[in-house]
Amino acid sequence: MPKIIQLSQHVANLIAAGEVVERPASVVKELLENAVDAGASQVTVEIRDGGMTFLRVTDNGCGMSSEDARTAFLRHATSKLRTAEDLAAIATMGFRGEALAAIASVSRIDLLTKTPGAVSGTSLALEGGTVTEESEAGCPDGTTIIVRDLFYNTPARMKFMKSDSVEGSRVAAAVQLQALAHPEVAYRFLRDGKEVLSTPGTGKLEETVYCIYGRDSARWIRVESRWEQYSLHGYICKPTDARPSRAMQTFFVGGRPVKSRLLMAALEEAYRNQIMVGKFPSCVLHLDLPAELVDVNVHPAKTEVKFLNEKAVFDCVHYGVLGALNKVADRPQVQFKSAPYAPPAAPAVAPKKQENFFRTMTAQEFKHFSAAIADAPQPSPLAAAATVAAVERERVLPLKETVSFPTVTVREPVAQPLPEEPEQQTFAMPEQTPWRLVGELYNCYILVEQGEDAYLIDKHAAHERILFDKLKANQEQISAQALLKPAVCRLSPEGAAILLSNLPLLEELGFEIEEFGDSRVLIRQVPMEFNEEEAADALEALAADLLNGRRESRETVRDELLHTVACKAAIKAGWHSDEKELYVLASQVMSREELKHCPHGRPICITLSKKQLEKQFKR
């Protein structure tokens, strides 16, 4: 066993830097938090080359004395925390005293700072965490930090950086996030000499929201509510404006941007039944609560929080959002393409009964819900496109009827085997037990009997899968169509940047896009079968996937797109299928084990055994 030694300060800082300083955007986040903690009312961020070579944050806050300026770069040096008890009630953004030490250890830094009372300020230069120069300097009140050549001494980290434009856009997103967190601070952001964001700092959240989201934000719904010791305020989108990804869900807890599955679940639960499957609400929501009810010290970048009372937090967000949604009149009325067998009018989607609408999830439901969110793959173009079918399915199956055993009514003509489709045709596989097409339920599920088992086949899912397999096997070119009038699509800054840096890939998938400025792209060409809106949704979902680094492989992206094409081309639930169609689908599924017992994703086919039925009937 090698001898144990204590790591040097420099190595320890490098390790910490790995946790706190991932990329230019994380540096900016930390510096902006420091500016807010210093009481600044005006903050300017400037970057060059995506922030990799040059990044400057200037604030008009309280500044530092020359002694403090030196100490600030030491590990665990903070002015915000004195005792362990302080940790239980943190009112500042920072407190770990790690950020400056970590940033300094992987870059070259120039610091200029002056406290309001002082005659002169301090200028400090550091390289790899070591002070190389210190002098008195004339400068305005406040602090300026310049970070140059980030990761110059950690080439391994450097390799993980994306293009300058993607890194720069992540910085833009980080500035936006801070601006939304602190409407009382005026932010300016300059990228390669050009001003790309400027917020007024009036303290009015809607003004900052407008600066960031533009005119679209005029349609947002205001949320303002209190629940016990919790208060919630901010903006949410209309159900009809839901997006194909969660990229536009922004939550703040005590002014701190956080990622929280609980908040996400509470938000989405409030929209339940109001938006289509595969779409997600956007929001800018601030949750404020007494400091002792939340632990922010669970992650080095402090993006995760732990709530003391999860149920209360859930209810606060859920009811707050629900209340705001209920105030706006235009609930979506779902349109159905064709409904020859639509059940007697009983709108399943727009809930009329308030008591049904105003309810909280049970703990059990919440567990399921959050587990589902955790496991769920990020939204895909497929999900976006499958929504119509999903809504139709919901409509066909009344929502309240979640009984485990549906009342089966088989229509006469279908119950009989078809005269023109002789039974022996299904015996192509000699070893297969004979099966019989019994009929169709709700224009959605094909009912098949085979020996001691009955099968319910989701006709849309089955058809989609069969088409997908065909497309994939042929390795067909995805055909594309030019739009008569190019469409503008608004994305997040990073979303737009990552799409624009993957043009060849997009082309392969049938998209042709161009930069349009201000986080927007111009769509000129889309895959066949896509309309403008679907193409925009697919692009947003694709951008989210590329940013998550999950779709680096072309094969996977292509598969996703093929899924979408297959989904669109497949027959829909709720559509009327003639018996022949049902028959062909059933025989495909019955003869292919991988379809019958598909282990992935949404099931294609479920089994109902005779035994199960007998049990139900207590025979």
Does 60 interact with Mg ion (rule: CB under 5 A)? no
Selection from ligand ADP, Mg ion, none that 95 binds (CB < 5 to 8 A by kind) is: ligand ADP
Task: Give the position of tokens 């800018």.
Answer: 284
- Asked if 109 interacts with Mg ion (CB under 5 A), we say no
Give the other-Cβ count within 10 Å of 559's Cβ: 17
DSSP characters over 395-439? HHS-TT---SS------HHHHSPPSSS-GGGGGGSTTSPPEEEEE
381/616 Cα distance (integer angstroms): 40
Please identify which residue in 94, 257, 379, 381 interacts with Mg ion, judged by CB under 5 A: 94
Which CB atom, from 36 or from 542, has the smaller least distance to Mg ion?
Answer: 36
Residues composing the chain: 619
* Closer residue to ligand ADP (CB): 116 or 343: 116
- Stated as kind and residue range, the H or E segment containing 441 is strand 435-441
Say whether residue 26 binds Mg ion (CB under 5 A).
Answer: no
- Total residues in contact with Mg ion, by rule CB under 5 A: 3
Which residue is closest to ligand ADP by CB?
94
Q: How far is the CB of 213 from ligand ADP (least distance, A)?
A: 28
| Residue 146 Cβ vs Mg ion, minimum distance, rounded to whole Å | 17
List, in order, residues 6 or more apart from 195 with CB less than 8 Å away.
Answer: 188, 189
Q: What angle, rounded to 10 degrees, do the helices at 164-181 and 205-213 form?
A: 160
Binding partner of residue 539 among ligand ADP, Mg ion, none, CB cut-off 5 to 8 Å per kind? none
Measured distance CA(432)–CA(418) in Å, rounded: 20
Name the helix (H) or strand (E) containing 32: helix 24-37
Please state, in angstroms and rounded to a whole number, the distance separating the CA atoms of residues 535 and 541.
10
Q: What is the DSSP string of 206-269?
A: HHHHHHHHGGGGGG-EEEEEEETTEEEEEEE--GGG-BSSSTTEEEEETTEEE--HHHHHHHHH
Smaller CB distance to Mg ion: residue 99 or 389? 99
Report what 80 binds from Mg ion, ligand ADP, none; CB cut-off 5-8 Å by kind.
ligand ADP
> Which residue in the set 25, 43, 72, 99 belongs to the binding site for Mg ion (CB under 5 A)?
99
* 79/154 with CB nearer ligand ADP: 79
Q: Cα torsion at 382, 387, 388, 389 (round to 10°)?
A: 80
Nearer to Mg ion, 30 or 534 (CB): 30
Number of H helices, E strands in the chain: 22, 22
Residue 248 found at the interface with Mg ion (CB under 5 A): no
Q: Which is nearer to ligand ADP, 51 or 63 (CB)?
A: 63
Q: Which does 540 bind (CB under 5 to 8 A by kind): Mg ion, ligand ADP, none?
A: none
Compare residues 103 and 247 and give the one whose CB is closer to Mg ion. Answer: 103
Closest distance between ligand ADP and the C-beta of residue 30, in Å?
6
In whole angstroms, the minimum distance from the beta carbon of 196 to ligand ADP comes to 22
- Smallest gap from Cβ 187 to Mg ion, in A, equals 17
Q: Write out the residues near ligand ADP by the rule CB under 6 A.
A: 30, 34-35, 37-38, 59, 61-64, 72, 77-80, 94-101, 143
**300: amino acid identity, one letter:** P
Q: Taking CB within 5 to 8 Å according to partner kind, which of Mg ion, ligand ADP, none is near residue 265?
A: none
CB of 174 to Mg ion, least distance (A): 14
Nearest to 118 by CA among 65, 61, 41: 65
Q: Does position 61 bind Mg ion by CB under 5 A?
A: no
Structure tokens at 359: 């309810």
Q: Which does 574 bind (CB under 5 to 8 A by kind): ligand ADP, Mg ion, none?
A: none
Q: Give the nearest distance from C-beta 167 to ligand ADP in angstroms.
A: 21
Residue 112 or 506: which CB sits closer to Mg ion?
112
Nearest distance in Å: CB 81, Mg ion:
11
The sign of the CA dihedral 148, 149, 151, 153 is: negative
Of 270, 255, 248, 370, the residue nearest 328 (C-alpha): 270
By CB under 5 A, name the one of 26, 34, 58, 60 that touches Mg ion: 34
Comparison of 57 and 539: residue with beta carbon closer to ligand ADP: 57
- Whichever of 33 and 268 has its CB closer to ligand ADP, that residue is 33
For tokens 């009481």, the residue is 39
DSSP 557-603: HHHHHHHHHHHHHSPPTTS---HHHHHHHHHHHHH-HHHHT--SSS-
**Which residues contact Mg ion (rule: CB under 5 A)?**
34, 94, 99
